[in-house]
Structure 1
Amino acid sequence: MKELLRTTDPTIIPWATAILQGEGIEVFEFDVHMSVLDGSMGILPRRLMVGDRDLFMALAVLKDNNIPTGQ
Structure 2
Amino acid sequence: MREIVRTNDIVLISLLESLFKEAGIEHLVADGNMSILEGSMSMIPRRVLVLDEDEATARRLIVDAGLEKELRPAGDGGW
Q: Same fold by TM (over 0.5)?
A: yes
Residue aligned with 2:5, SS: strand
Partner of 1:11: 11
Q: Say whether 1:69 aligns with 2:75.
A: no
Partner of 2:33: 33
* TM-score of the aligned structures, taking structure 1 as reference length: 0.92
RMSD (Å) for aligned C-alpha atoms: 1.0
Runs (4+) off by over 2 Å: none
The residue identity in structure 2 corresponding to 1:69 is L
Contiguous gaps of at least 5 residues in structure 2? 74-79
- CA distance in structure 2 between the aligned counterparts of 1:41 and 1:23, rounded to whole angstroms: 31
The residue identity in structure 1 corresponding to 2:71 is T
**Aligned residues: percent identity?**
34
Contiguous gaps of at least 5 residues in structure 1? none
- CA distance in structure 2 between the aligned counterparts of 1:12 and 1:69, rounded to whole angstroms: 12
